[in-house]
DNA sequence: ATTTCTTACTTGTTATAACAAGTTTTAGAT
DNA sequence: ATCTAAAACTTGTTATAACAAGTAAGAAAT
């Protein structure tokens, strides 16, 4: 005998039914869902249950809510960062796709690096400082990511002006800092309050993290940082050859 | 004058304070948070507010709750899939790290492929079928990912037995299907109900998706699929040479 | 016709309440 | 001492209620 089906909560039942309507195209991307009041009518449940059901859909990234306006089916088109065999030159990459990338400097300062960064960049223990830069990445004027980078002091000092206005890797190349290899990890996290404010997303929104270390000649690390981008708008494309 | 600070909700205020306690190490990974009752006492607010505050932390991936037990600070150690210059051979890769990978076949059947897959695999329009395989990936007996793959009929038929028990790429190699290149995209999504049940995570849990197409000689596509893994347990490591 | 203000509608926050459903501890029976 | 059942925890679900805050539509005044 099948064991008695575990009682599924009302809010899951309701969110699954709305889920199907979205998947089946009954509610299309951009459409407004019925208001809470209407959904309460339809299912004859309390507001708290309907709100929970909608929250389930928001958590699945299918719906976004706006105070005073309503709940809307999200439309997701993602932009790919290309991690080709050569290096990432995001700006050109996006320009090819007709997307305008701009930068907004948040901070640029000499700071004591966290211990992990000290190790990775092989900073001298008597003076473990590096330039810390935080940049906001805007695609078509809309914030899409944050870049947090530690740069060796000698490089950061010379290239300060440029670094505040452009992407890091192309600047290094222009200034004859050869980048021999980049070791990177791609992972996902969820937005904390600080990031949710920078990126204008709700708390807990999925984010893609590209944590990288760039090495110049003789395997000398020169830059370490992470690019944190909205998971609903970006992805990474990888091409592997045998 | 600074414009009047936007009123921040109580639940955010509380979750941020607990957030700090976690970040500062006052609550350590694995620790049990105070119970709802105790937190209500501490902040003199209603249960709904405390529950919302904890939900905020869960959404940020910092806390997990278990009915009847309590809320616990999560400990995150992530396992890296290596996307080296050569191809992904996950099993060896993980074995090197002392992690046992096992597979559990969910479905293996000849099916009509979705139109996107038809295009990618260049299936004949009069018979657009391919083998559809769903596998559960278990690391140390615990479900960590789901693999959904479409395989050309001629290959799937011959290798059916093997495919049900092992990873796809090593099998192809053993059977002299040369894989010349793999085009892949890494992105993140949130668990829907089906995936949340397979992977034993809450609805909306962050997931990493590795969507790939493998090409053999003459750029002929033979396999297309996606590996969906728990974002809290896995990441991808990429090494780029110039 | 245009602007302004009010009103009605939307989602967001918070409180109180009761019960359900797991887990752990305690008290009791053997 | 060991097993068992009850009690006392825990988080999960759902209802009702009131007000806050943001948006849109309509009425009133210019």
CATH number at residue A191: 3.40.1410.10
Within this chain, do residues B213 and B125 fall inside the same structural domain, yes or no? yes
Q: What pLDDT does residue A2 have?
A: 33
Instruction: With a cut of 80, say whether residue A117 has pLDDT above it.
Output: yes
Within this chain, do residues B57 and B137 fall inside the same structural domain, yes or no? no
Within this chain, do residues B17 and B130 fall inside the same structural domain, yes or no? no
Mutate to test the interface with A, among B8, B13, B238 (most CBs of A within 10 A): B238
Instruction: With a cut of 70, say whether residue B2 has pLDDT above it.
Output: no
Are B191 and A60 inside 8 Å of each other by CB? yes
Domain boundary among A40, A58, A73: A73
Residue B2 placed within a domain: no
Give A3's pLDDT tier (boundaries 50, 70, 90). Answer: very low
Residue B3 placed within a domain: no
Collect all residues of chain B within an 8 Å Cβ-Cβ radius of residue A183. 237-240
B37-71 pLDDT, tens digit each = 999 999 999 999 999 999 999 999 999 999 999 99
Within this chain, do residues B86 and B169 fall inside the same structural domain, yes or no? yes
Q: Which domain holds residue B39?
A: 10-73
Long-range contacts formed by B50-58: CB under 8 A, 24+ apart: B50/B11, B50/B14, B52/B11, B52/B15, B53/B10, B53/B11, B53/B12, B53/B14, B53/B15, B53/B18, B54/B15, B54/B18, B56/A203, B56/A204, B56/B11, B56/B12, B56/B15, B57/B15, B57/B18, B57/B19, B57/B22, B58/B202
Helix axes B10-23, B36-43, angle to 10 degrees: 110
The dihedral through the CA atoms of A14, A16, A19, A24 has a sign that is negative
Within this chain, do residues A121 and A202 fall inside the same structural domain, yes or no? yes
* A-B contacts (CB, under 8 Å): 144
Within this chain, do residues B38 and B55 fall inside the same structural domain, yes or no? yes
Residue A100 placed within a domain: yes
Give A199's pLDDT tier (boundaries 50, 70, 90). Answer: very high
Within this chain, do residues B59 and B101 fall inside the same structural domain, yes or no? no
Domain boundary among A55, A73, A91: A73
Q: What pLDDT does residue A124 have?
A: 95
Residue A146 placed within a domain: yes
CATH number reported for the structural domain that contains residue A20 in this entry: 1.10.10.10
Tell me what the pLDDT averaged over chain A comes to: 89
Give A6's pLDDT tier (boundaries 50, 70, 90). Answer: low
Arithmetic mean of pLDDT, B223-235: 93
A136-151 pLDDT, tens digit each = 999 888 899 999 999 9
Q: What pLDDT does residue A223 have?
A: 95
Looking at A68-72, A144-148, B24-28, B165-169, which range is the least confident one? B165-169
Q: Nearest-CA distance from A78 to chain B in Å?
A: 9
Residue A2 placed within a domain: no
Within this chain, do residues A97 and A206 fall inside the same structural domain, yes or no? yes
Residue B172 placed within a domain: yes
B134-165 pLDDT, tens digit each = 999 998 888 999 999 999 999 999 999 888 88
Within this chain, do residues A23 and A121 fall inside the same structural domain, yes or no? no
Domain boundary among B24, B53, B73: B73
Helix axes A47-59, A10-23, angle to 10 degrees: 50
Residue A5 placed within a domain: no
Are A186 and B236 inside 8 Å of each other by CB? yes
Are A189 and B231 inside 8 Å of each other by CB? yes
Nearest residue in chain A measured CA to CA from B184: A238
Tell me what the pLDDT averaged over chain B comes to: 89
Q: What pLDDT does residue A86 have?
A: 53
Q: Distance from residue A192 (CA) to nucleotide D3 (C1'), in Å?
A: 49
Residue A161 placed within a domain: yes
Give B1's pLDDT tier (boundaries 50, 70, 90). Answer: very low
Q: Pick B100 or B111 by higher pLDDT.
A: B111
Arithmetic mean of pLDDT, B16-36: 96
Whose CA is nearest the C1' atom of nucleotide D22? A68
Within this chain, do residues B33 and B104 fall inside the same structural domain, yes or no? no
Looking at A48-62, A79-93, B108-122, which range is the least confident one? A79-93
Instruction: With a cut of 50, say whether residue A75 has pLDDT above it.
Output: yes
Within this chain, do residues A65 and A107 fall inside the same structural domain, yes or no? no
How many folded domains does chain B comprise? 2
Interface of A with B (CB under 8 A): 12, 16, 19, 56, 59-61, 78, 80, 83, 85-88, 178-193, 203-204, 206-208, 231, 234-242
Within this chain, do residues A94 and A61 fall inside the same structural domain, yes or no? no
């Amino acid at each position: 005998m099948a064991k008695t089906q575990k009682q599924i909560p009302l809010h899951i039942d309701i969110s699954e039914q709305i889920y199907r309507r979205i998947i089946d195209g009954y509610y299309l991307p951009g459409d407004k869902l019925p208001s809470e009041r209407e959904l309460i009518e339809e299912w004859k449940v309390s507001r708290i249950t309907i709100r929970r059901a909608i929250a389930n859909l928001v958590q699945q990234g299918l719906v976004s809510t706006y105070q005073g306006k309503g709940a809307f089916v999200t439309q997701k088109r993602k932009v790919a960062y290309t991690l080709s065999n050569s290096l990432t030159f995001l700006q050109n990459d996006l320009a090819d796709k007709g997307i305008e990338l701009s930068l907004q400097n948040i901070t640029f300062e000499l700071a004591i690096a966290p211990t992990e960064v000290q190790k990775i960049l092989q900073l001298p223990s008597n003076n473990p400082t590096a330039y810390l830069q935080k940049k906001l990445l805007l695609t078509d004027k809309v914030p899409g990511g944050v870049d947090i980078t530690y740069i060796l002091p000698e490089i950061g000092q010379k290239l300060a002006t440029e670094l505040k206005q452009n992407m890091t890797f192309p600047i290094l190349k222009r200034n004859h800092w050869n980048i021999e290899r980049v070791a990177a990890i791609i992972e996902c996290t969820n937005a904390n309050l600080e990031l949710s404010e920078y990126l204008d997303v709700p708390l807990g929104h999925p984010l893609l993290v590209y944590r990288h270390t760039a090495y110049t000649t003789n395997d000398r690390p020169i830059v370490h940082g992470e690019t944190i981008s909205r998971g609903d708008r970006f992805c990474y494309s990888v091409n592997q050859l045998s």
